[in-house]
Amino acid sequence: MSGIVLRWGFAFVLLSLTYNPTRWNFTRWAMENYRESLPLAVLTGLVLLVGYIIYLRATLRSIGAFGMLLVAALVGALIWVLIDWGVLTLDNPSLNLWLGLFATSAVLGIGLSWSRVRRRLSGQTDVDDVDE
């Protein structure tokens, strides 16, 4: 279970570093400082891109596009229930953005962890999982 939380946490950090409602994110920093720090902005952007490629490739291979849509729908339904119960409101745009980051990171975290979860639940090993 801690592996799933760790993978989700890394996905959340990756997304939050890229953009969030605070002023501490790559997008805002790069837009404000690209003239003085273009090489650093490009390097940082490439590092973030590598992280996205790792997460998206693993997620698409493990649960596919339909699985990503299904996980997003489940997270969306959970948020909908919390709104219906009065736990959350959509009045705050910053909170809405954080909810979007949470939902997207949940999709990526579950996608990255799904092969391990399926192996534990079913006892079946993927061809990619076999040690050489």
Per-residue pLDDT tens digits for 82-122: 999 999 999 999 999 999 999 999 999 999 988 777 777 77
Q: What is the pLDDT of residue 127?
A: 61
> Residue range 7-16: average pLDDT?
97
- pLDDT (mean) for 65-69: 95
Looking at residues 47-70, what average pLDDT do you find? Answer: 95
**Listed range (1-10, 63-72, 110-119) with the worst mean pLDDT:** 110-119
The pLDDT value recorded for residue 3 is 84
At 132, the pLDDT band (50, 70, 90 cuts) reads: very low
Question: Is the dihedral angle over the CA atoms 46, 48, 51, 53 positive or is it negative?
Answer: negative
13-48 pLDDT, tens per residue? 999 999 999 999 999 999 999 999 999 999 999 999
User: Which pLDDT belongs to residue 115?
Assistant: 77
